[in-house]
Amino acid sequence: MQFEFNEQQKMIQKMVREFAEKEIAPGVMEREDKEEFSRALLDKAGELGLTGICFPESYGGSDGDYISYIIANEEIARVDDGVQTGYAASVSLCAMPIYNYGTEEQKQKFLVPLAEGSKLGAFGLTEPNAGTDAAAQQTVAVLNGDHYVLNGSKIFITNGGAAEIYLVFAMTDKAKGVKGITAFILEKGMPGFTFGKKEHKMGIRSSQTQELIFQDVKVPVENRLGQESAGFKIAMTTLDGGRIGVAAQALGIAQAALEHAIKYSQERVQFGKPIASNQAIAFLLADMATQLDAARLLTYRAAYLKQKGQPFAKEAAMAKMYASDAAMKITTDAVQIFGGYGFSREYPVERLMRNAKITQIYEGTNQVQRMVIAGAILR
């Protein structure tokens, strides 16, 4: 197994880190405080080729590889995981399934602007009573000649209201349960397609999360992604890849927390010496660094398998579960090292600890990941 990046991946890591530190970092606390979504930063990511990093040039991409995409996620999340959330939702959850399952016409119409970064994407699966239980969806699509009529709603949608392109899942045959779910590509501005309340969240406040509402939306048949009733498969395979992105987000958060904790422990003097010289602190830092490295190895193993076209669902679940748990532990320990200052919003570790929590929740909670892993090893 390869344990280091190749030269191209190292160049991408350097470029994204410089972009994140120069362009994203200066306003991170202001965006967090104001719950401010910055479309301009995602547009700049598109100008750098990051939104098309893992797509062919023929579809507006930069012909990079999937590992490079995961590197970009980690580096952006290290500075502002709210911006990374919007970036990953557009690339991994919207553009990627269109690339994997779309017709040539759909790729030219929808994937190209997503990869170029001129349009933003979103993924609509979750409903008030249908999170992990996808079969409980109430959104329905009824075929009527050359179009479907879509009614229902979706909640907790990253980039909701801001995106121009939406991948939405609806029941076309409720009697079939999950086998009756179909995927559709919607565009902002379609008659009957509106937006509900914005969520005010504990963390990742610089990402926009908003409800989608569908009232007799006419969706052309040519906007159906894949065959009718193939939606559940599309959603689940998309979430498998999304879990690697979440693991990368967790890495970025944890890396930032560790860096802040190391710097603070070397500068903070108590009883005449830096607190890093105390074993209680030094051992805590050693554990944090070890957990982070273990999480990183799991994450890039899953990315490597996906890139090679090999089965990766179990490994993605392992990476997401372990990396998010590690991020929560590492950020909590970082707050502990900062002491009372760590509880203050003046210092970044408070934000990192809040934001780490979401990585344990979305793309399926970590109990769902354990179900995926157990199912794989027991088969």
**Within 13 A of 8's CA, how many CA atoms are on the CB side?**
10
Helix/strand/coil for 269: strand
Helix/strand/coil for 141: strand
Which uninterrupted H or E stretch holds 43?
A: helix 39-47
At 243, list the tokens. 């879990």
CA atoms 280, 285, 290, 291: torsion sign: positive
pLDDT in tens, 294-304: 999 999 999 99
First-residue to last-residue Cα distance in the chain: 26
Helix/strand/coil for 94: helix
Contact, 155 vs 202, CB < 8 A? no
At 293, list the tokens. 């490295």
> pLDDT truncated to tens, each residue of the chain (379 aa)?
678 999 999 999 999 999 999 999 999 999 999 999 999 999 999 999 999 999 999 999 999 999 999 999 999 999 999 999 999 999 999 999 999 999 999 999 999 999 999 999 999 999 998 877 877 899 999 999 999 999 999 999 999 999 999 999 999 999 999 999 999 999 999 999 999 999 999 999 999 999 999 999 999 999 999 999 999 999 999 999 999 999 999 999 999 999 999 999 999 999 999 999 999 999 999 999 999 999 999 999 999 999 999 999 999 999 999 999 999 999 999 999 999 999 999 999 999 999 999 999 988 889 999 999 999 999 8
| Alpha carbon distance 51, 87 (integer Å) | 7
What's residue 310's pLDDT?
96
Q: What are the DSSP E strand ranges found in the chain?
A: 121-124, 140-144, 147-158, 165-171, 181-187, 193-198, 209-220, 224-225, 269-270, 273-274
| Alpha carbon distance 64, 56 (integer Å) | 8
User: Above pLDDT 70, what percent of the chain?
Assistant: 99
**Annotated catalytic sites, by residue?**
363
pLDDT in tens, 244-279: 999 999 999 999 999 999 999 999 999 999 999 999
What's residue 1's pLDDT?
62
- Complete domains list, the chain, with CATH: 7-120 (1.10.540.10), 122-229 (2.40.110.10), 232-378 (1.20.140.10)
What's residue 6's pLDDT?
93
| Alpha carbon distance 178, 214 (integer Å) | 20
At 65, list the tokens. 């590889």
Go through 144-171 and write b for each residue having 16 or more CB atoms within 10 A of its CB, e for each that does not: eeebbbbbbbbbbbbbbbbbbbbbbbbb
